[in-house]
Structure 1
Amino acid sequence: MPTRVLLVDDHAVLAESLSLLLGSQSDLEVVGTARTLADARRLVETSRPDVVLLDVALPDGDGIAEIPALLERHPGARVVVLTGTTSDRVLVGAVEAGAAGFLSKSGGVRRVVDTVRAAAADEAVLPEATLERLRPLMRQRADERHVRLTEREVEVLQLVAEGLTNAAIAERLVVSLHTVRNHVARISRKLGAHSKLEALSIALRQGLVTP
């Protein structure tokens, strides 16, 4: 089955360009385009997308602030924030809201397709250098929740913190990719996270892994 993508952006030209680009891929399907957060809430429920490409600034509100509401309506979605800024405040806020990653509006065409595919596979979608910059910032906020993880789950999370993909983690631990994905899914459930990035953010705040 193709990966189902919902576009949320009020810039008609950009939204149409992204729709044409993603729709031309045999493994991707654009299931809707929303111009407002109200439309996004409705379409998330009716179209059940695998990936949501979400602009930061919409006519009726802040896209990042809306992420928890979208995930509440469809917890299985992976939200990728469309942004023209690399502001620490914006990026950390998006991660802690449950975003799976970021897509720069100034990036190339190939980057869009690769990002959607990576998000659908529950990879952390952001450059390693950006992750390195954000790790200490995500530790600055206290978190009183305490979750017990197994030794292997902590080991997997530590490798996520180092910026490794699921495939690279599998190679490092000499296990199958399927095993790593199962570990990541269990970690996310235990931490109440909607994405690998959010799980990492929670784990850093709890001191389960080191930055």
Structure 2
Amino acid sequence: MSGPVNGAVGDAVDGGGPAAAPIRVLVVDDHDVLASSLAAVLDQEPDLLSVGVAATLERARALIRTAAPDVVLLDHRLPDGDGVAAIGELLALRSGLRVVVLTASSADHVLVAAIEAGAAGFLSKTRSLAEVTAAVRAAASGEAVISPELLARLLPRLQRDGRPPHEALTGREREVLGLVAGGLTNAAIAEQLVVSVHTVRNHVANLSAKLGAHSKLEALSIAVREGLLPDR
């Protein structure tokens, strides 16, 4: 794995204060060498912890229930099913779970399907191990693991159906949502709005809850469907 990660990986770890519990990560991939390498690298990081490796969706479901991961690195193609198609089911097994799709595919329809299913982002299998750990931290902190360029390419392909929103967003929440659509990290949004990163995280959490979204990317998908974003 080599090359830059496609992801907004800033603002992933807060500085200062007591040491936080490590981010618990489950690797779901049927390529033994890759999965074992990822798990080993995760365990070398003081703030990350591998809680298991699964080669199938069936095993992944069991480990999500018993090992309580915070982040799942999920292969797109698995022996017993399509990882992207299973995202919604996996998210339902654990509140607050983040799923980052591991994929060798750059096909727009695969990436759009992952966004609409609730993925926190994507990680190409060509990326370096160090960049994988950065992406895990970003996903755990609520960032979208996707480059602004890729986000701009995919947004027009999300489904639009004009349904009314679940609950009205405030003006500030709409403003934050628009900045998220521009590919900005929480830190960049905070700087632009002259507020704290904590305040931005609260806005993102509130608008995601109102939209019934599991991630920033899914919130954008729902916002597009419901006409909450201006034409870009």
TM-score over 0.5 for the pair: yes
Report the Cα offset of residue 45 of structure 1.
Answer: 1.0
TM-score (normalizing by structure 1): 0.97
Q: Secondary structure at the match of 1:5?
A: strand
Counterparts of 1:112 and 1:171, CA distance in 2: 26
Quote how far apart the aligned CAs of 1:22 are. 1.1
2:4 counterpart residue number? none
After superposition, residues 98-113 of structure 1 pair within 5 angstroms as 98-113=118-133
Structure 1, gaps ≥5 residues long: none
- What amino acid does structure 2 have at the position aligned with 1:14? L
Is the Cα contact below 8 Å between 1:52 and 1:77 reproduced in 2?
yes
State the Cα distance separating 1:92 from its structure 2 match.
0.1
Q: State the Cα deviation string for residues 105-138 of structure 1 (Å, max 9, x = none).
A: 0012221011000000010101111001001111
Residues 1:15 and 2:72 aligned together: no
Q: How many residues align?
A: 210
Residue matched to 2:161? 142
Structure 2's unaligned 5+ residue stretches are 1-20
Structure that is richer in helix per residue: 1
Q: Which amino acid aligns with 2:186?
A: N
Q: What is residue 33 of structure 1 aligned with on the other side?
A: 53
TM-score (norm 2): 0.88
Amino acid at match of 2:221: S
Give the CA RMSD over aligned residues. 1.0
Residue from 92, 95, 103 that aligns with 2:112: 92
**Relative contact order higher in (CA < 8 Å, ≥ 6 apart):** 2
Retained in 1: the 8 A contact 2:160–2:226?
no
Q: Counterpart of 1:154?
A: 174
Alpha-carbon shift at residue 141 of structure 1 (Å): 3.3
Distance across 1 between alignment mates of 2:130 and 2:29: 19
Name the structure 1 match of 2:18: none
Matches within 5 A, 1:57-136: 57-136=77-156
Over the matched positions of the two proteins, sequence identity in percent amounts to: 61
Distance apart, 1:145 and its partner CA: 4.1
Per-residue CA deviation, residues 49-107 of structure 1 (Å, 9 max, x unaligned), is 11000000111000011101101111311000000111000000000000000000001
Gap change, CA 1:143 and 1:17, over 3 Å in 2: farther
CA distance in 2, matches of 1:114, 1:23: 14
